[in-house]
């Protein structure tokens, strides 16, 4: 693909010669073109700014008229997602293809809730055709730092900001929770970056709203059991969600939020203890050691936000992320302005601090009251006592209380061996307190969508 960064007034074409089209269980080469039409010029280009990271850019495109691309994809609105992930990471397009292939085999009705990949292409960052400065200078990065340019052409969806009401959000939310569950059941692929940033939607011609789970670039195939360990929470920096919106700009691609990628070198903001959200994720920062942690701070499970070596990412952690997403929506969304606000306590400088703030939110009513007081009047009922969402909060609080008990049992090394059986029993009980079925039952939603 080329000519992606010309001025919007120009006619932009994005060549896709040699790209692989996604299909059910197979691939084929796409010869054709995508272009920035007059309609796509009115849509917003999203760019993830940062000195270090994947440098994701999402560009609105359509299939060029009279080409093979138009024959394959029609004239619907598309986006080209251009990113520079580490070469050693499992490719996002491969993850999406695997997810959709397995769903098509046994749960095809959930395909509409998984991002629709049209075609993709990967270019080596060290290839001469990329014309990168380091190639000319002979600079060769180590294997762990080697990146590729990956381009995915996807169907365009609406960002969650535009959903407009709590009732519409509920439809989208349960669509993606169910789809996430059946993806894990059919392929053992875990998303690992559940956030309001990665939940989108679209409307069918008959008016029905459909929720879609996007951004599978941090997903992990757990079918082999070969899951890599992660770094300490203290080594990682937090990210701000959502960022301050730019004046007079309405995004129709995706909200601007970098996630924490496993293996990404990151930057640690300095002297931000107790600070509120910043206007950007690119303030002056000091580089720290690479972290190996996935997720988006305000939505990550508490087990992943502690000091010390965190556990392997579990399915339950993604359910906990969905819970925090629902809380964030109910506490900060403004349906009239179609915008999210902030939970200041969850926008801290480090992941450990975010964990402390979220733990306080689960345990202390006065903290919850402070967080929830900003809620829009149409959404306040979601946060009232004895509602499904607050009942789910108590369930996660119970799980967190069990962790404190386990910590106390494990801290006494003199009696650790004697208490081993009790610790293992409590760990098992803790894991059984949350599942897909329990999650859906508490929230009063059927496990299967109505056809």
For the chain, what is the mean pLDDT? Answer: 79
Q: How many residues does the chain have?
A: 451
- pLDDT per residue over 346-403, tens digit each? 988 889 999 999 999 999 999 999 999 999 999 999 999 999 999 999 999 999 999 9
Do 152 and 178 lie in a common domain? Answer: no
Of the three residues 156, 176, 204, the one that is the final residue of a domain is 156
Of the three residues 131, 156, 181, the one that is the final residue of a domain is 156
H-helix or E-strand spanning residue 274:
none
Do 149 and 179 lie in a common domain? Answer: no
Long-range Cβ contacts of 64-68 (<8 Å, 24+ apart): 64/13, 64/32, 64/33, 64/34, 64/35, 67/32, 67/33, 68/30, 68/31, 68/32
220: pLDDT strictly greater than 80? yes
For the chain, the domain total comes to 2
Q: Count, in order, helices (H) and strands (E) of the chain.
A: 11, 18
**Token couple for 6:** 């010309």
Do 262 and 124 lie in a common domain? Answer: no
Do 271 and 384 lie in a common domain? Answer: yes
Find the range with the poorest average confidence among 44-53, 262-271, 343-352.
262-271
**Whole-number pLDDT of residue 12:** 44
For residues 305, 308, 311, 313, the Cα torsion angle rounded to the nearest 10 degrees is 40
Do 193 and 294 lie in a common domain? Answer: yes
74 by DSSP, 3-state: which? coil
Selected residue with higher pLDDT from 229 and 431:
431
Phi, psi of 358 (to 5 degrees): -70, -35
**Residue 168 pLDDT level (bands cut at 50, 70, 90):** very high
Do 93 and 174 lie in a common domain? Answer: no
Phi, psi of 246 (to 5 degrees): -75, 145
Mean pLDDT of 215-226: 86
**Whole-number pLDDT of residue 432:** 96
**Whole-number pLDDT of residue 255:** 39
Contacts of 87 by beta carbon, 8 Å cutoff, 6+ apart:
124, 125, 143, 146, 147, 148
**Whole-number pLDDT of residue 88:** 81
Do 179 and 84 lie in a common domain? Answer: no
53: pLDDT strictly greater than 50? yes
Do 278 and 360 lie in a common domain? Answer: yes
Do 373 and 225 lie in a common domain? Answer: yes
**Token couple for 301:** 């499970």
Find the range with the poorest average confidence among 54-58, 159-163, 224-228.
224-228
Cα–Cα distance measured from residue 50 to residue 281, given in angstroms and rounded to the nearest whole number: 7
**Whole-number pLDDT of residue 295:** 78
Q: In what order do the strands lie in the sheet with 209-213?
A: 158-159, 199-203, 209-213
Do 183 and 150 lie in a common domain? Answer: no
Find the range with the poorest average confidence among 52-61, 172-181, 418-427.
52-61
Do 179 and 61 lie in a common domain? Answer: no
**Whole-number pLDDT of residue 410:** 84
**Whole-number pLDDT of residue 63:** 86
- pLDDT per residue over 59-73, tens digit each? 998 888 888 888 888
**Whole-number pLDDT of residue 66:** 83
Do 148 and 166 lie in a common domain? Answer: no
Of the three residues 129, 156, 183, the one that is the final residue of a domain is 156
**Token couple for 290:** 């690479």
Find the range with the poorest average confidence among 4-13, 14-23, 84-93, 335-344.
4-13
- For the chain, the first-to-last Cα distance in angstroms comes to 39
**Whole-number pLDDT of residue 274:** 29
Mean pLDDT of 1-12: 36
**Whole-number pLDDT of residue 135:** 66
Find the range with the poorest average confidence among 29-38, 176-185, 440-449.
29-38
248: pLDDT strictly greater than 60? no
Find the range with the poorest average confidence among 102-106, 170-174, 232-236, 408-412.
232-236
Cα–Cα distance measured from residue 269 to residue 303, given in angstroms and rounded to the nearest whole number: 22
**Residue 441 pLDDT level (bands cut at 50, 70, 90):** very high
**Whole-number pLDDT of residue 50:** 62
Find the range with the poorest average confidence among 14-18, 53-57, 181-185, 328-332.
14-18
What is the percent of the chain with per-residue pLDDT over 70, rounded to a whole number? 70
**Which neighbouring-strand residues pair with 9?**
none
Find the range with the poorest average confidence among 179-183, 228-232, 306-310, 314-318.
228-232
**Whole-number pLDDT of residue 18:** 55
pTM of the model: 0.81
Q: What's the domain range around 43?
A: 1-156
**Whole-number pLDDT of residue 284:** 34
51: pLDDT strictly greater than 80? no
């Amino acid at each position: 693909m080329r000519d992606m960064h010309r001025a919007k007034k120009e006619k932009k074409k994005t060549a896709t010669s040699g790209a692989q089209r996604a299909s059910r269980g197979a691939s084929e080469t796409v010869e054709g073109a995508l272009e920035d039409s007059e309609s796509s010029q009115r849509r917003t280009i999203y760019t993830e700014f940062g000195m270090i990271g994947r440098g994701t850019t999402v560009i609105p495109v359509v299939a060029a008229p009279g080409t093979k691309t138009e024959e394959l994809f029609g004239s619907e609105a598309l986006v080209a997602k251009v990113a520079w992930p580490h070469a050693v990471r499992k490719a996002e397009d491969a993850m999406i293809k695997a997810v959709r292939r397995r769903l098509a085999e046994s749960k095809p009705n959930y395909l509409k809730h998984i991002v629709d990949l049209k075609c993709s292409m990967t270019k080596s960052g060290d290839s001469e055709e990329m014309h990168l400065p380091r190639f000319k200078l002979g600079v060769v990065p180590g294997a762990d730092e080697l990146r590729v340019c990956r381009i995915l052409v996807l169907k365009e969806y609406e960002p969650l900001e535009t959903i407009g009401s709590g009732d519409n959000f509920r439809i989208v939310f349960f669509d993606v929770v169910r789809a996430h569950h059946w993806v894990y059941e059919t392929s053992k692929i875990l998303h690992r970056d559940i956030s309001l940033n990665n939940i989108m939607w679209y409307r069918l011609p008959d008016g029905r709203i459909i929720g879609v789970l996007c951004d599978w670039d941090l997903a992990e195939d757990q079918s082999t059991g070969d899951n890599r360990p992660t770094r300490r929470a203290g080594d990682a920096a937090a990210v701000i969600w959502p960022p301050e919106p730019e004046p007079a700009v309405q995004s129709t691609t995706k909200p601007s939020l970098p996630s924490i990628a496993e293996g990404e070198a990151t930057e640690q903001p300095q002297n931000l203890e107790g600070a509120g959200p910043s206007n950007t994720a690119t303030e002056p920062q000091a580089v720290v050691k690479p972290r190996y942690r996935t997720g988006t701070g305000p939505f990550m499970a508490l087990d992943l936000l502690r000091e010390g070596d965190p556990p392997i990412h579990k399915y339950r952690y993604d359910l906990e992320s969905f819970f925090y997403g629902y809380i964030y929506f109910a506490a900060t969304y403004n349906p009239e302005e179609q915008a999210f606000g902030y939970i200041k306590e969850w926008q801290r400088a480090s992941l450990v601090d975010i964990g402390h703030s979220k733990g306080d939110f689960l345990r202390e009513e006065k903290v919850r009251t402070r967080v929830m007081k900003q809620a829009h009047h149409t959404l306040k009922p979601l946060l009232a006592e004895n509602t499904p969402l607050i009942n789910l909060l108590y369930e996660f609080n119970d799980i967190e209380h069990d962790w404190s008990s386990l910590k106390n049992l494990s801290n006494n090394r003199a009696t650790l061996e004697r208490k081993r059986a009790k610790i293992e029993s409590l760990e098992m009980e803790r894991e059984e307190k949350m599942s897909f079925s329990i999650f859906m039952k508490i929230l009063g939603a059927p496990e299967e969508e109505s056809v």
